Amino acid sequence: MVDAIRSEGIAARARMAALKAFGGRLRRLRESAGLIQERLADQLGVATQTVRNWEVGRTEPSFEHKQQIAELYEIPLVELMGRNDEAPLDDTELSAFFRDDWDRLIVEEQEFVRVAVEMAKKSKSIREDHAPYTANGVGPTE
């Protein structure tokens, strides 16, 4: 039972992180297009507060609104959703999430994050050691 509750906590935190990450992407897209929240809201047919809630990760747009946003900014929906394998993690969003929520994580969750970071560091080190190979690890770059 305790493990189920912990799993739910981890899932909830992951969901919150995903919402915050989506909101950050939406805000960057809007700002790079030179739009204010009110203008984006008008274009999508929603209230300005709705756009604010999306950008801070409080709520999530419907699938239809996500499609509208992707079309508006002329990007694939998968890129808007952050599922573009070529896009790196946003370090600012990641560090902000853990700065704000680290103390709320239980010891096991903190250890999980530490292990994941160590694995990422080792992976980077391995990639750097094999520099003559392409980014996907297949064949020389020449």
Determine contact, residues 23/52, Cβ cutoff 8 Å.
no
Determine contact, residues 21/89, Cβ cutoff 8 Å.
no
Domains of the chain, by residue range, sit at 2-129
Q: Quote the tokens at residue 63.
A: 């699938």
Determine contact, residues 22/57, Cβ cutoff 8 Å.
yes
pLDDT tens figures, 1-59: 555 555 567 777 878 888 888 899 999 999 999 999 999 999 999 999 999 999 999 99
Considering the entire predicted model, what is its pTM? 0.55
Other C-beta atoms lying within 10 Å of the C-beta of residue 38:
12
Give the CATH fold of the 2-129 domain: 434 Repressor (Amino-terminal Domain) (1.10.260)
Closest C-alpha to 63, from 48, 84, 78? 78
pLDDT tens figures, 62-86: 999 999 999 999 998 888 887 654 4
Question: CA 76 to CA 107: how far, in whole Å?
Answer: 38
